[in-house]
A and B are shown apart, each in its own frame.
Chain A
Amino acid sequence: MIEFSQVDFSYALEQPPLLKDVSFQIREGEFIAVLGRNASGKSTLARLFNGLLLPDRGNVKIDEMDTGNPEKLFAIRQKVGFLFPSPDRQLIADMVEDEVAFVLENLGLPASDIRERVDAALEMVAMENYRKHPPSLLSGGQKQKICIAGILSMRPKYMVLDEPTSRLDPAERIDILATLMKLKAEWGLTLIYITHHVEEIVAADRVFILQNCRADSFSLSELLEKQEYLLQLGIEPPEISRLIYLLNRDERFVIPYEVVSAADLVNFLCR
């Protein structure tokens, strides 16, 4: 379990605080989406999960381990995988498998273990046929999967992803999301997923919205009914939800907000 208790955070005294008295718990296997306008503190919150930043007050605990305890930091970072925004720019190895093995070698694992973990991680992201490929020749989506495999090879329990799809095209986004959903289902991986694209997080268990130094928890369907509120917070509902919202203002339409794809809406309209 991940637990934030009464966390305050600001970067500097002369800057306004970003988090005030933030408390929440995240259970294993949950998919938490994090939304909020630019500069609301999403990436800051992300960096508090694995001790890259420490709270000014209150504490952050990962499976009972406090991120403020330097002795626990190594164990915490093995449990919490962290995907930076545009990590594909940091790919350095000549071959995909070396890239994925890189972190493990630094952990000092025996070669046979590394081999096994690399194979398993590449298989999880369906990139096992690209072992010997130079990462520089892969598409954006494939590079992103290699970065995800690098993190998975450490067998984390929790994974924090900061805008993992912002550089991907629509087809690649769908692919990455499917991969993450598979890992959640098969592996019980806990996801903390930051994005500006609400259509990506329709499967989220809970949605955290950052605003006014708070992180409030909502269910997505509840939010989609309050579209003006979302827009005010700098968050755009999915295109189909916005369309449904306009249709529902005409009393002949009563379309539930669970409908999130064009295909489902077609079926609804043609009944």
Chain B
Amino acid sequence: MSIVLKNINYTYQINTPFMRKALHNINLYSGKNEILGILGGTGSGKTTLLQVITGLLTPDSGQIEIDEVDISQYRKKALNVFDKIGMVFQVPEEQIFEKKVFSEVAFGLRKKFLSAEEIRCKVEGALASVGLNADYCQRFTYNLSSGEKRRLAIASVLALETEYIFFDEPTAGLDYEGRVLLLDNIKKLNTEKRIGMIIVSHDPLEMFSVCHRCVLLKDGCLVFSGDLTDWMANYEILTEQGMVFPQSQQLVHELNRRGWDMKGGMKNFAEVAAQIIKCYDGRFH
């Protein structure tokens, strides 16, 4: 069970003066239980890539297989990619179209032959998991704050319990609590329900803390792939590519350059702080 991309090319506005090649010969494999991160600056092609995988955009050339089935076959077999893959869009306004919060979350559940009570239960559960209480059910979606809209968009997708979930810049506009809840949900769904995830973001900090592996997109090309240890081992080359590492990773790199002996693979500031205290002991005592 996996997602496989072979030689994917995509061009916007083909044969017009505004023609723009957004993806160059992308080859990518993601295992079923993987949390895969796609990093890259704005305009590097991250959103385009997600939309190509889900069939929202059709590539110029190349092949996409989800669980061993070519996605061009899905339509022929009357299958829907979105029954398998839940997607949190980059802009919540482009995903939310119901008037009331309850109906928005319930929308995708309606075709699952559930009782009204089961639906209510799932809706409230999904909202609670993003920190929105049951009072939100009757609120209008259009006058929510930007963070509330983001949380609603996430809850609507989590409620569906699909086999895969894609997130496009999911933490933009979220406060600290919202980010922590989201990252916890991601880890929990992956370990408990074995849901595979692809997360797109330009923020390496969250990505390194939650993804098993991250790839880097640059000008539509896939230029790097690896876990945090691999990224740190290629710190200089990646920085030349325009990659901005999280501050705590910058710190680790610079201390090691000055002769400290910090281990790789520290996922967050807390692990880095613990290492600094340990190395400091070694150096001065």
Interface residues of A (CB under 8 A from B): 11, 36-39, 43, 85-86, 89, 134, 136-137, 139-141, 163, 166-172, 196, 199, 231, 234-236, 238-240, 242-243, 246-247, 250, 252, 261-263, 265-266, 269-270
Quick check: A38 and B175 within 8 Å, CB to CB? yes
Chain A contacts of B270 at CB under 8 A?
242, 246
A168→B248 contact, CB < 8 A:
no
CA distance A266 to B203 in the complex (A): 22
- Whether the pair B255, A196 counts as a contact (CB closer than 8 A) is no
Query: Which residue of A is nearest B281, CB measured?
Result: A252
Determine whether the beta carbon of B273 is less than 8 Å from that of A171: no
Knowing A37-B175, A137-B20, A236-B176, the reply to whether A167 touches B251 (Cβ < 8 A) is no
For A38, A136, A172, the residue with the greatest tally of chain B CB atoms inside 10 Å of its CB is A38
Q: Are B43 and A262 in contact (CB under 8 A)?
A: no
B42 touches A168 (CB 8 A): yes
Instruction: Say whether B251 contacts A266, CB under 8 Å.
Output: yes
CB of B272 closer than 8 Å to a CB of A: yes
One of B26-34, B166-174, B225-233 contacting the partner = B166-174
Give the contacts of B230-285 with A (CB-CB under 8 A).
242, 244, 246-248, 250-251, 254-255, 258, 269-270, 272-274, 276-277, 280
Given contacts A170-B203, A239-B246, A239-B247, contact A139 B145 (CB under 8 A): no
Contacts of B169 in A (CB 8 A): 167
Q: List chain B residues, Cβ under 8 A from A236.
A: 176, 179
* Closest CB in chain B relative to A209 CB, distance in Å: 12
Would A11 and B143 be within 8 Å (CB), given that A166-B172, A270-B258 are in contact? yes
Nearest-CB distance from A14 to chain B (Å)?
Answer: 10
**B148 in the interface (beta carbon within 8 A):** yes
**CA A139 – CA B31 in complex, angstroms?**
31
Whether A196 pairs with B43 at a CB distance below 8 angstroms is no
* Docked-complex contact B176 and A139, CB < 8 angstroms: no
Shortest CB distance A94–B (Å):
10
Complex interface bits, B32-48 against A, C-beta within 8 A gives 1, otherwise 0: 00000000111100000
Q: Is the CB of B273 within 8 A of A266?
A: no
Of the candidates B20, B146, B202, which one forms a contact with A170 in the assembled complex, judged by CB atoms under 8 Å apart?
Answer: B202
Interface members, chain B 150-179 (any A CB < 8 Å): 151, 169, 172-179
A3 to chain B, nearest CB (A): 25
Best-surrounded residue of A168, A171, A261, A269 (most CB of chain B within 10 A): A269
Are A266's CB and B254's CB within 8 A? Answer: yes
Give chain A nearest CB distance to B89 CB in angstroms: 13
Task: Specify the chain B residue showing the minimal Cβ separation from A243.
Answer: B269
Interface residues of chain B, those whose CB is within 8 Å of chain A, are 18, 20, 40-43, 91, 143, 145-148, 151, 169, 172-179, 202-203, 205, 242, 244, 246-248, 250-251, 254-255, 258, 269-270, 272-274, 276-277, 280
Q: Is the CB of A43 within 8 A of B146?
A: yes
Q: Is the Cβ of B277 less than 8 Å from the Cβ of A247?
A: yes
Q: Write out the residue numbers on chain B whose beta carbons fall within 8 Å of the beta carbon of A85.
A: 146, 173
Please give me the residue from chain B that is nearest to A136 by CB atom: B18
Q: How far, in whole Å, are A139 and B177 apart by their CA atoms in the complex?
A: 29
Report chain B residues within 8 Å CB of A250: 277
The 8 Å CB contact of A163, one of B143, B173, B274, is: B173
Residue contact A169 to B41, C-beta cutoff 8 Å: yes
Chain A residues near B18 (CB-CB < 8 A): 134, 136-137
Interchain residue pairs with CB less than 8 A apart (10): A166-B172, A169-B202, A169-B244, A170-B244, A196-B147, A196-B176, A240-B248, A247-B276, A262-B248, A266-B254
**Complex: chain A residue closest to B90, CB-CB:** A167
Task: Tell me whether A240 and B43 are in contact (CB under 8 A).
Answer: no
Known: A171-B244, A262-B247. A269 touches B255 (CB 8 A): yes
Assess A139 versus B147: contact at CB under 8 Å? Given A38-B178, A234-B176, A262-B247.
Answer: no
In the bound complex, do residue A39 and residue B147 qualify as a contact, i.e. CB atoms below 8 Å apart? yes
Contacts of B276 on A, CB cut-off 8 Å?
A: 243, 247, 269
Chain B residues contacting A243 (CB-CB under 8 Å) are 247-248, 251, 269, 272-273, 276
| A246/B273 contact (C-beta < 8 A), A39-B145, A169-B41, A196-B174 known | yes
Residues in chain A near residue B42, CB distance under 8 A: 139-141, 167-169, 172
A136–B179 Cα gap in the complex (Å)? 30
User: How far, in Å, is A23 (CB) from chain B's closest CB?
Assistant: 23
- Residues of chain B with a CB closer than 8 A to A239's CB: 205, 246-248, 269
User: With contacts A238-B247, A239-B246, A239-B269 known, is A196 near B280, CB below 8 A?
Assistant: no
- CB neighbours (8 Å) of B273 from chain A are 243, 246-247
Q: A38-B151, A236-B179 are in contact. Are A163 and B146 (CB under 8 A)?
A: yes
- Nearest chain B CB to A16 CB, angstrom units: 10
Cα A252 to Cα B273 with chains together (Å): 13
Supposing A239-B205, A262-B254 touch, asked if A167 and B172 sit within 8 A by C-beta, the answer is yes
Contact of A38 among B41, B147, B205, B272 (CB under 8 A): B147
Partner of B145, one of A43, A140, A261, A266: A43
**Chain A residues closer than 8 Å to B179, beta-carbon distance:** 236
